[in-house]
Amino acid sequence: MNSKLNLRDKKKEATSYALAVAAFELALEHGMDGFIVDDVVQKAGYSRRTFANYFSCKEEAVAAYFIGSANKEDDKLLLAGLPADATPLDALYNLLQLQFTSEFLHKLRQFVSLANQYPSLEPYILSVFRRLQIAAQEVLEQFSHGRYSDGYTHLLAGAVYGAFVPIVDGRLNVMLPGEQQSEGSDAMPFDQYLNSMFAYLRNGF
């Protein structure tokens, strides 16, 4: 949870996230057509009225699982661990390693797969990646303290998070952490892809 929030805000954030987790788990188990809002609130232990205070539909709640996860990193801890000569790319690299855990990446790929099956989810894919990108930009702005232009940090975040879209939607043959390479496969390990992407950003294309 965001340490800057007061107790009431933290409670609201926890409620929103609990509803989102319930919605996402139901979507994976039953598909988007296999559950309704009443199932979400029953699973999460809240009322339908509470659900309506946070979300307009079950699709929005499913997507909020990832948006909520993007807010859970401790920015102060992340920045405190960087050396004095660190660059914005170093800060962004550390953030990605914290944010894009094996579990998160696998669930994000499941979300994109769900959206391919259920068009009602498609509009929310962009909002998920946009929120992840905004979270990264906020970290970079805290790190830079005005030493770099806003355009530079926006460019970095946009380039890096845009590079993750073809991984989770399957257009790039990249193995997620924990996956085993099948015989004859030429899939690139995730860590190798991440490091090569940052090498391009550091050294040029």
pLDDT, one tens digit for every residue, the chain (205 residues) = 454 568 888 899 899 999 999 999 999 999 999 999 999 999 999 999 999 999 999 999 999 998 766 555 555 666 677 887 888 888 888 888 888 888 888 888 899 999 999 999 988 888 888 888 888 888 888 888 778 887 888 888 888 888 888 888 888 889 988 888 777 788 899 899 999 999 998 887 6
Our measurement of the distance from residue 111's CA atom to the centroid of its chain's CA atoms, rounded to an integer in Å, reads 11
pLDDT for the residue 69:
62
Beta bridge partners of 189: 175
- For the chain, the domains span 1-62, 73-203
Determine the topology of domain 1-62 in CATH: Arc Repressor Mutant, subunit A (1.10.10)
